[in-house]
Amino acid sequence: MRRLAIIALCGWLAGCGYIGDPQPPALLIPLPIVDLAAEQVGGKIRLRFTIPDLTTERLPVKDVTVDLRGGEAPIPVAARAPGAVEAEAPVAAAWVGQEIAFRVRLQNAKGRYSEWSNAVLRRVVAPVGTPADLSVKPEPGGMALRWSGVAETWSVLRDGVAVATVSKPEYLDAAVEPGKSYRYQVQAAVKAGTGTAVSEPTAEAAVPYVDRFPPAQPVRLNVIASANAIELSWERNTEADLKHYRVWRDGQVLADAIDVPAYTDRTAARGKSYRYAVSAVDLYGNESSPSQPVEITTP
């Protein structure tokens, strides 16, 4: 019986699964950051990067400490989880006029570091001043912006989006529509090595574009009298928002909503003098001054 028991035990042990070699514990080292970007805005360096989701062993990143540096100076970052991160550092006096390398790495809960990120080399300049005295005013050709300040170029932002870069402290935004309101800001920029440094943008100026601009005065009014009528003609206005013309006789409206630059007056009496003029009206009800009057006597 004892012998049979030993044989049965050996058979049972032979049927058990093989236990492999012991595996080392996961190091949980995060993948390196690869998208570090840096920009000087006013008196600050603004930095952006993304904390990866995975470790080098393709395991989830759970808790990390960010080691962000400008040169050798640490820059505090509160983020500890994967995702997009924004940070900023004040422009140190010792940085001005120098090329400073910015880089970042991650430390896991076990104290192990990732590789350093891509290095971003920035020439730091004295803080760029925010433009002053921004004025925004509707004009016939669009929204006119003017401001003061010293810079090499300025960016004009409309509703938070850059729409133009100019080298003078003024801009006419022709891409506006009557009845709509727009929010404008201006940001100054100067060269900083191979890149640029910019100012903080101005406070937003919200202004509606209201068309209060009348068409041009009609010109070259020609008046010809015949036995049965008086024929008027004039040069066509070129405004895109022109709606129609008004014909005046002796200071009173004779005809309204005339679509073409011509009119026939069949109500004039014979042997009488009349004084004619024409005005133009746009889509928003703005009316030009009357044309130079023309006086004529019917046969």
Residue-wise pLDDT tens digits, 105-143: 999 999 999 999 999 999 999 999 999 999 999 999 999
Domain with residue 83: its CATH number is 2.60.40.10
Query: Average of pLDDT values for 145-154?
Result: 97
Same domain, 141 and 82: no
pLDDT, position 1: 47
For the chain, give the mean pLDDT. Answer: 93
Q: Give yes or no: residues 243 and 202 share one domain.
A: no
Question: Cα separation of 35 and 82, whole Å?
Answer: 13
- Percent of the chain scoring above 70 in pLDDT: 92
What is the spatial distance between Cα 86 and Cα 107, in angstroms, rounded to a whole number?
A: 18
Does residue 217 fall inside a structural domain? no
How much is the pLDDT for 60? Answer: 96
Q: Is 232 a member of any domain?
A: yes
The whole-number pLDDT of residue 3 equals 57
Report the C-alpha gap between 220 and 128 in whole angstroms.
54
Average pLDDT over residues 47-74: 96
Same domain, 102 and 177: no
In this structure, the answer to whether residues 201 and 265 fall within a common structural domain is no
Residues 262 and 187 in one domain: no
- Quick one: pLDDT at residue 239? 93
Q: Verify that 204 and 268 share a domain, yes or no.
A: no
Q: Say if residue 66 is in the same domain as residue 91.
A: yes
How many domains in the chain? 3
Residue 10 has pLDDT above 50, yes or no: no
Return all residues near 4 (Cβ < 8 A) that are at least 6 apart. Answer: none
Are 294 and 276 contacting, i.e. CB atoms less than 8 angstroms apart?
yes
Q: Is residue 113 part of a domain?
A: yes
Q: Are residues 104 and 149 in the same domain?
A: no
CA distance readout (Å), 270 to 162, 221, 244, 254, 266: 65, 21, 29, 17, 11
* Domain termination site, one of 123, 147, 166: 123
pLDDT at 8 exceeding the cut of 80: no
Residue 9 lies in a domain: no
**Tell me, what's the pLDDT at 21?**
54
Residue 181 lies in a domain: yes
CA atoms within 13 A on the CB side of 205: 22
Closest CA to 65 of 13, 19, 106, 96: 106
Residue 213 maps to a domain: no
Q: Which one of 100, 123, 146 terminates a domain?
A: 123
CA distance 278 to 245: 7
Query: Using one digit for the tens of pLDDT, what is the confidence trace for 70-110?
Result: 999 999 999 999 999 999 999 999 999 999 999 999 999 99
pLDDT of residue 272: 94
Structural domain boundaries, residue 119: 37-123
Q: What is the pLDDT of residue 227?
A: 81
**Of 159, 177, 208, which residue sits at a domain end?**
208
Residue 61 tokens read as 């990143």
Beta bridge pairs of residue 188: 154
Regarding whether 85 and 62 lie in a shared domain, the answer is yes
What was the pLDDT predicted at 19?
A: 55
On whether residue 100 sits in a domain, the answer given is: yes
Does residue 185 lie within any of the structural domains? Answer: yes
> At residue 100, what is the residue type?
I
